[in-house]
């Protein structure tokens, strides 16, 4: 790895608009020091003034020894310090040219020097050494020690004298006798979290634009890079595999097969996590298309817990794996070929040797224990094997994560008296379905709830908890289950010398494409490096052993990837390298992450003139361009009253290295543009779910995409804004998250600016005569809060609440105000929005609550509404019967439930509970297996083969149209049989029938799918079974606009 000494004395140029500085390879000025954040700071021109903007969320920036928390103006000659070791000096030279251009004419330069050379030229500081080298002169040479180590809770442990540990980013090393200025910024205050330089779509049709951060100038190597040493002598290898999960077992089996001396260490028992599963639980084998390494002699496919344990124990026994259980690893020292591992087993502590190490320890870490008097009693446990083994007991479950909630509910349903204890009063770590379930059980009184309480001691008859105010509560019980989470293994790894890319506690350590960490000889596989799925773990364990032996093993996904690249030509490795070299957005990925992404994506080679997608299409994949150019055509959105065919078109070009289709990452939105290739193109098409996973795990990717979103949203809303203005706006923008039901802003408050809804829906309420009434619902892609910007000084005129979990981008008032004055377009837009608001409010008053009614019943979002005319409905329920009979015995329609609108003229229009196939389906927000799909015609349907029954969609749907049920697709005896022999012709109870594989059939999500699988009716009438089976014609499916018209017509 390059270090700063290489860069001493180097001069960097500062660009005309923005220049990024950081460790990331995409930065304009790359500072290759471990203590620097990937995007650390930015030099930004505003008019003729140069600002230094602090970007890092973790490390500090100082100018002339004063910390910069937001931005600071620079005039030249300042010394900018980044983190603790890197100092750059700024020089601004003005050119002599006689130009009256408003843009800065200066050609600024930056002089890079090293810390220590500022005043005391002696004792240059040691470069950030590779962790296995003993740190050289870290002792402070002269001058007072550096500013006190910040009390950051997220900082890694300060390595004092540990021999193998790397110098921590805030080590007391650099002497720099600069007087310690103010404390470094407190850990909790983030700098204005804004996206970095947003991309700029050009306004001219031809020139390709800069997108994302600067183009990489050097070829990016996968890092860390494994050495090219010759393969070791197999007889000299002594392999230590730590962790006997699927990855470790696979490694152990392979090592035994290869005749390599090895030991598989496990702190409890083989496959401990699966052993702890509830009895009979189904273990899934995702992803289905991934093959297992064919030479691995370890069986695995989707099966119940007991079967999987049998397979794996057999595999280890048959191969002759040297398994050592009940042994904890305390520390690892040494180097490749001569590692020393200290262990503690049943016999006590000892130190063992190893030449190579494979770490497959997962991310569960050490289970947290209570640590209070009495916690060693037999009624205090940390797991629940079988909830059905407990009946009529009083049980206390401590912890409101997924594990705690699931245990509490299972026990309560089995007839136990359960109390669940929360250390705080928020339940925010659990899956939405679990959260909803426990809240409902608490509300109904089935489960007692104790908040803000931690265990104080355990007595024989119960547990004593202490609440925040010091009071004690005793809960009598027979059993206490602690689900307190785990300490992640990061501290162990860092003590070993493994480096992490950032302070983020979710950060994953980098590995080379051979799974080798930054310490040669130590390999890391499985969940530890971001691959929690069992099949991945097994393959990686196998492959790591092969790499230790120096064998060239093809990763298991190689044939799948090779097939994808077939049309492109070249080897898989060549293609992956090309992708990393070409697409800056993907370059932060490790090789393993990139392979995973490609595994889930499609490679498309398209000739010129191919339409990739059209405006208003429902698909939502993300496209990265490897080669070629595409053209995006968008309609001007500034005046929504103009019909589509009369609007102006905006054209943009995107080229190799850029991306498009990012709007699809926001659930369910239709495409806003038509994209056509203008040359032969090679594209990577990535499904929405994979991209979402990626943005969650790789911060840099998220930033780029966020920035692209803000930029393109601004470009769509205000096309007359130029790139620089958009950048400035985007820079000041702040992305905010709002939970469903949370207030985004409240009526009567001081306004905080204009909000652009990136994801979700905001419901607008206004108080009338004391009562709050909803007047409108604003979808993603649109804005809220315009009035306050249009009329500065006024307070908020309405309340905006998140209808579902929402993300908004907030542009502060002062920033927008500048543009309101200067841009007629923006002013017009805001005035238009004001009109809409006034009309909506008026309608509310006049329409006798039609809007409210539609809002509650969901009609406003629907693309397809099921409506029953209750003057015709004879309540025969044939519609429900028809739905059930054509859908596996479960009706997706509840005729009786739902709201009815009675017009004054005596009509009654009822909206039964049934899926409305919303414009922006909330149910699609978080479907892990991507089982929710949208047809080109707009129908939203659930693929019940891929559905895993997690219930997220049910929790997200605000209209209660999804339910979890066991579907039985056996049609049963025929019609004639049923008519003639009604008693005999019944089906077996579906609930009693076990599914294949022995596991209990699970409940899956079901909802209306517009009968898309039924054959079309010959007469051209509705396909939906409910509509076709209504004897009087009361039930119809209509366009929601028709519904409103119908009401107004029938008002008379």
Q: Which helix (H) or strand (E) holds 13?
A: strand 11-13
Q: Which is nearer to another protein, 375 or 870 (CB)?
A: 870
Burial status of residue 150 (CB atoms within 10 A of its CB: 0-12, 13-18, 19 or more): middle
Give the three-class secondary structure for 505. Answer: coil
CB of 1015 to another protein, least distance (A): 5
User: Smaller CB distance to another protein: residue 181 or 874?
Assistant: 874
Q: How do the residues of the chain divide into helix, strand and coil, expressed in percent and rounded to 5?
A: 25, 25, 50
- Exposure on the CB side of residue 621, measured as CA atoms within 13 A: 17
Whether 528 and 509 have beta carbons less than 8 Å apart is answered as: yes
In the bound complex, what is the minimum distance in angstroms from residue 882's beta carbon to another protein? Answer: 4
Residue indicated by tokens 């049980």:
395
Question: Is 673:615 a contact under the CB 8 Å cutoff?
Answer: yes
The smaller minimum CB distance to another protein, of residues 964 and 1014, is found at 1014
Per the rule left: phi > 0, alpha: psi between -120 and 50, beta: everything else, 617 is beta
- Closer of 9 and 982 to another protein (Cβ): 982
**What is d(CA 343, CA 327) in angstroms, rounded to the nearest whole number?**
7
Rounded to a whole number of angstroms, the minimum distance from the CB of residue 850 to another protein is 15
44: phi then psi, degrees, rounded to nearest 5? -125, 130
| Closest separation in Å from C-beta 1040 to another protein | 12
Ramachandran class of 485: left when φ > 0, alpha when ψ lies in -120 to 50, beta otherwise: left
Question: Least Å distance between CB 722 and another protein?
Answer: 49
Q: What residue ranges in 718-877 does DSSP mark as E strands?
A: 734-738, 743-745, 754-759, 761-768, 771-779, 783-784, 799-802, 806-811, 865-869
User: Between 604 and 1037, whose beta carbon lies closer to another protein?
Assistant: 1037
CB 1013, min distance to another protein, A? 10
Beta strands 806-811 and 734-738, pairing class:
antiparallel
Torsion of CA 301, 306, 309, 313, to 10 degrees: -120
The DSSP annotation for 592-614 comes to: HHHHHHHHHSEEEEE-TT-EEE-
298 Cβ contact partners less than 8 Å away, ≥ 6 residues apart:
249, 250, 253, 292, 311, 312, 315, 538
* The Cα angle at residue 271 between residues 268 and 272, in degrees rounded to 5: 45
Cis preceding-peptide flag for 287 (omega within 30 of 0): yes
By beta-carbon proximity to another protein, the closer residue of 105 and 852 is 852
Residue whose CB is less far from another protein, 451 or 894: 894
CB of 861 to another protein, least distance (A): 20
Question: 696 or 1017: whose CB is closer to another protein?
Answer: 1017
| Cα–Cα distance for residue pair 331/946, rounded to 1 Å | 43
Q: Which is nearer to another protein, 103 or 902 (CB)?
A: 902
CA dist., res. 131 & res. 520, Å (int)? 10
CB of 875 to another protein, least distance (A): 6
Of 691 and 866, the one with the shorter C-beta distance to another protein is 866
- Between 369 and 978, whose beta carbon lies closer to another protein? 978
64's CB contacts (< 8 A; 6+ apart) are: 78, 79
**Rounded to the nearest whole angstrom, what is the least distance from the CB of residue 1026 to another protein in the complex?**
9
Structure tokens at 314: 């057999």
Beta carbon of residue 857, minimum distance to another protein (angstroms, whole number) = 11
Q: 536 vs 878, which CB is nearer to another protein? A: 878
Q: How far is the CB of 440 from another protein (least distance, A)?
A: 16
| Choice between 115 and 1034, CB closer to another protein | 1034
Q: Rounded to the nearest whole angstrom, what is the least distance from the CB of residue 417 to another protein in the complex? A: 21
To another protein, the closest distance from the beta carbon of 446 in angstroms equals 17
Interhelix angle 824-846/813-822, rounded to 10 degrees, is 110
CB of 1032 to another protein, least distance (A): 5
- For another protein, the closer of residues 169 and 898 by Cβ is 898
Cβ atoms of 975 and 967 closer than 8 Å: no
Q: Which structure tokens are listed for 14?
A: 């500062």
- Minimum CB separation of residue 445 from another protein in Å reads 13
Q: Name residues whose C-beta falls within 8 Å of residue 204's C-beta, 6 or more positions apart in sequence.
A: none
The footprint of another protein (CB under 8 A) covers 870-875, 878, 881-882, 885-886, 896-897, 899-900, 902, 906-908, 910, 975, 978-979, 1014-1019, 1021-1022, 1025, 1027-1034, 1036, 1038, 1042, 1045-1046, 1049
CA distance 935 to 1012: 9
User: What is the nearest approach in angstroms of another protein to the Cβ of residue 859?
Assistant: 15
Cβ at position 961, least distance to another protein in Å = 16
HSE-CB of 163 using CA atoms within 13 angstroms: 6
- To another protein, the closest distance from the beta carbon of 1046 in angstroms equals 6
Give the whole-angstrom CA distance, residue 1047 versus residue 862. 16
> What dihedral angle (degrees, nearest 10) is formed by the CA atoms of 250, 255, 256, 262?
-110
Residue 138 burial class via C-beta count within 10 angstroms: exposed 0-12, middle 13-18, buried 19 and up: middle
Q: Compare residues 479 and 1025 and give the one whose CB is closer to another protein.
A: 1025
Of 266 and 869, nearer to another protein (C-beta) is: 869
> Which CB atom, from 504 or from 896, has the smaller least distance to another protein?
896
Specify the 3-state DSSP secondary structure of 332.
strand
Q: Give, as one character, the DSSP assignment of residue 516.
A: B
Residue number, 123 or 899, with CB nearest to another protein: 899
How many whole angstroms separate alpha carbon 453 and alpha carbon 399? 10
């Amino acid at each position: 790895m390059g270090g700063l000494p290489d860069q001493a004395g180097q001069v960097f140029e500062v660009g005309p608009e923005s220049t990024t500085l950081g460790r990331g390879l995409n930065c304009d000025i790359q500072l290759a020091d471990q203590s620097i954040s990937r995007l650390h700071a930015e030099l930004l021109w505003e008019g003729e003034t140069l600002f230094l903007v602090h970007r890092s969320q973790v490390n500090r920036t100082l100018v002339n020894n004063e910390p910069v928390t937001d931005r600071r103006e620079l005039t030249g000659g300042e010394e900018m310090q980044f983190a603790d070791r890197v100092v750059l000096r700024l020089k601004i030279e003005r050119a002599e040219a006689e130009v009256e251009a408003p843009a800065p004419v200066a050609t600024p330069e930056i002089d890079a020097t090293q810390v220590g050379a500022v005043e005391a030229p002696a004792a240059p500081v040691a470069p950030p050494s590779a962790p296995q080298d003993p740190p050289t002169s870290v002792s402070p040479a002269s001058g007072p020690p550096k500013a006190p180590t910040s009390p950051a809770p997220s900082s890694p442990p300060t390595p004092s004298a540990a021999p193998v540990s790397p110098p921590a980013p805030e080590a007391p090393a650099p002497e720099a006798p600069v007087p310690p200025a103010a404390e470094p910024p407190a850990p909790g205050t983030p700098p204005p979290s804004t996206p970095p330089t947003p991309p700029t779509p050009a306004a001219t049709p031809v020139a390709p634009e800069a997108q994302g951060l600067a183009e990489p100038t050097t070829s990016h190597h996968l890092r860390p890079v494994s050495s090219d040493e010759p393969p070791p002598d197999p007889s000299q290898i002594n392999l230590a595999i730590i962790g006997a999960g699927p990855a470790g077992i696979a490694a152990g089996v392979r090592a035994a097969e290869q005749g390599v001396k090895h030991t598989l260490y496990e702190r409890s028992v083989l496959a401990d996590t699966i052993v702890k599963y509830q009895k009979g639980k189904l273990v899934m084998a995702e992803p289905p298309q991934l093959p297992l390494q064919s030479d691995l002699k370890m069986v695995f496919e989707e099966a119940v817990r007991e079967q999987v344990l049998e397979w794996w124990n057999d595999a280890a026994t048959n191969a002759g794996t040297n398994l050592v259980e009940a042994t904890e690893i305390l520390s690892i020292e040494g180097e490749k070929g001569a590692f020393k591992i200290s262990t503690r087993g049943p016999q006590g502590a000892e130190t063992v040797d190893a030449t190579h190490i494979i770490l497959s320890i997962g991310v569960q870490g050490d289970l947290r224990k209570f640590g209070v008097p009495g916690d060693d009693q037999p009624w205090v446990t940390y797991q629940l094997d079988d909830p059905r083994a407990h009946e009529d007991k009083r049980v206390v479950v401590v912890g409101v994560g997924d594990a705690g909630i699931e245990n509490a509910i299972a026990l309560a349903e089995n007839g136990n008296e359960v109390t669940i204890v929360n250390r705080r009063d928020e339940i925010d770590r659990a899956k939405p379905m679990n959260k909803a379930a426990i809240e409902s059980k608490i509300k109904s009184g089935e489960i007692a709830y104790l908040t803000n309480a931690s265990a104080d001691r355990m007595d024989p008859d119960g547990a004593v908890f202490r609440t925040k105010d010091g009071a004690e509560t005793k809960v009598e019980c027979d059993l206490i289950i602690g689900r307190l989470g785990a300490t992640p293994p990061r501290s162990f790894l860092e003590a070993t010398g493994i480096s992490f890319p950032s302070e983020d506690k979710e950060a994953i350590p980098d590995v080379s494409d051979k799974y080798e960490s930054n310490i040669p000889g130590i390999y890391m596989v499985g969940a530890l490096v971001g691959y929690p799925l069992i099949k991945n773990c097994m393959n990686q364990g196998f492959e790591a052993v092969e790499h230790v032996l120096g064998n060239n093993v093809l990763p298991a996904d190689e044939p799948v990837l090779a097939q994808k690249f077939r049309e492109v030509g070249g080897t898989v490795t060549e293609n992956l390298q090309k992708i990393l070299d070409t697409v800056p957005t993907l370059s932060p990925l490790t090789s393993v992450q990139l392979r995973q992404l490609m595994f889930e994506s499609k490679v498309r080679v398209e000739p010129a003139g191919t339409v990739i997608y059209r405006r208003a299409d429902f698909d939502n994949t993300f496209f990265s361009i490897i080669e070629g150019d595409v053209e995006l055509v968008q309609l001007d959105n500034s005046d929504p009253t103009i019909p589509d065919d009369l609007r102006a078109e905006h054209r943009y070009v995107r080229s190799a290295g850029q991306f498009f289709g990012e709007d699809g990452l926001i659930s369910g939105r239709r495409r806003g543009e038509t994209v056509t290739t203008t040359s032969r193109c090679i594209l990577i098409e990535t499904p929405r779910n994979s991209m979402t996973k990626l943005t969650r795990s790789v911060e840099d990717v998220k930033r780029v995409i966020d920035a692209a979103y803000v930029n393109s949203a601004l470009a769509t809303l205000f096309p007359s804004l130029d790139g620089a203005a958009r950048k400035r706006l985007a820079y000041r923008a702040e992305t905010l998250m709002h939970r469903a039901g949370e207030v985004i802003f409240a009526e009567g408050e001081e306004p905080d600016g204009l909000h652009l809804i990136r994801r979700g829906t905001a419901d607008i309420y206004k108080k009338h005569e004391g009562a709050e009434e909803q007047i409108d619902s604003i979808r993603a892609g649109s804005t809220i809060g315009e009035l306050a910007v249009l009329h500065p000084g006024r307070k908020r005129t309405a309340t905006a609440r998140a209808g579902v979990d929402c993300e908004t981008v907030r542009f502060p008032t002062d920033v927008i105000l500048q543009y309101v004055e200067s841009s007629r377009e923006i002013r017009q837009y805001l005035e238009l929005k004001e009109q809409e608001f006034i009309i909506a409010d008026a309608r509310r008053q006049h329409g006798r609550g039609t809007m409210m009614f539609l809002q509650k019943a969901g009609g406003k979002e629907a693309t397809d509404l099921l409506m029953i005319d209750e003057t015709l409905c004879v309540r025969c329920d044939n519609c429900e019967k028809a739905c059930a009979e054509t859908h596996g015995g479960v009706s997706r329609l509840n005729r009786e439930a739902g709201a009815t609108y009675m017009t004054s003229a005596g009509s009654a229009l009822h909206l039964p509970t049934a899926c409305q196939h919303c414009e922006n389906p909330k149910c699609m927000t978080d479907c892990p297996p991507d089982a929710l799909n949208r047809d080109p015609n707009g129908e939203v349907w659930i693929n019940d083969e891929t559905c895993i029954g997690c219930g997220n969609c049910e929790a997200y749907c605000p209209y209660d149209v999804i339910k979890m049920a066991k579907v039985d697709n056996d049609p049963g005896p025929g019609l004639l049989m049923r008519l003639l022999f009604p008693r005999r012709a019944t089906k077996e109870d579906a609930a009693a029938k076990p599914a294949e594989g022995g596991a209990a059939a699970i409940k899956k999500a079901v909802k209306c799918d517009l009968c898309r699988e039924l054959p079309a009716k010959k007469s051209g009438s509705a396909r939906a079974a409910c509509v076709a089976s209504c004897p009087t014609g009361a039930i119809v499916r209509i366009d929601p606009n028709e519904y409103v018209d119908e009401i107004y017509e029938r008002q008379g």
